Structure 1
Amino acid sequence: MRKILIIAAALIAAAPALAQTDKAEPQASIPFVNHGGVRDFDVVDNDTLYIEDQHRHWYRAELMGYCPDLGFARAIGFETRGPDTLDRFSTLIVRGQRCPVKSLVESGPPPKKAKKHS
């Protein structure tokens, strides 16, 4: 019984520290994603992209994992499963492959890409 009390006291003492380290960014959503809500997108790598909405606001989307053809995509689709709103519960369709979204947060524009020297 004493061990349980000691463990409970340790967990209670650690709770404020755990709460302070969890500084998750607020999740965003883009309405009317399949009806003109998205203006543009810019791929960073195979699991991150920036999406611009019709009001020229940018969002950074992190995917659940590697999306193999994302870097080569000229177009992407959105599966929203309910309202026509892109959010962290949505899925990107890239060349027929489903790539689930892990997080969607408001952002500045995508970083500038380095120029290639020939």
Structure 2
Amino acid sequence: MKNRILAAPLLALGLFATPALAETPAQSTVAEQPEARINFVNHGGIRNWHAEDRDTLYIQDRRRNWYKAELMIPSHELPFAWAIGFDTGPIDRLDKFSQIVVDGRSYPIASLTQVDGLPERDG
């Protein structure tokens, strides 16, 4: 009898929480782009790059596709860098688990997504 009394409030709480759990991902307004990767980075896989700001780097692969890399930690030297490095680890592939190296410091990549091209400049 005592177990039934304790179960009733828990069941009632579960019924109130059910609509919150029933929300589908299709209802979200933010469209996520799939994570991308660039193969053969150490063998000519990267053609060009452009630092947008201290958090964002645009990378062009050898097929002239552009990718946007968001950094986990801002790099204050990135907008002024003449050269950067790509640390892919043991795999010769740049993805969200890789790092970029600017002035000897490593910065982890938070996300790497394919974009249509470089953003337009104002003025």
> What secondary structure sits across from 2:18 in the alignment?
helix
1:6 to partner: Cα distance: 4.1
Question: Post-superposition, which runs of at least 4 consecutive aligned residues in structure 1 deviate over 2 A?
Answer: 1-12, 15-24, 112-115
> What secondary structure sits across from 2:64 in the alignment?
coil
Give deviations 1:47-105, integer Å, cap 9, x for gaps.
00110000000001111021111001111111112210000000000111111000000
Give deviations 1:5-43, integer Å, cap 9, x for gaps.
344334432234363327421000000112100000111
Matches within 5 A, 1:14-33: 14-17=20-23, 19-20=25-26, 21=28, 23-33=31-41
In structure 2, the gaps of 5 or more residues are 1-6
Q: TM-score, normalised by structure 2?
A: 0.81
RMSD between aligned residues: 1.9
Structure with more of its chain in helix, by fraction? 2
AA partner of residue 85 (structure 1): R
In structure 1, the gaps of 5 or more residues are none
Sequence identity, in percent? 39
How many residue pairs match? The answer is 115
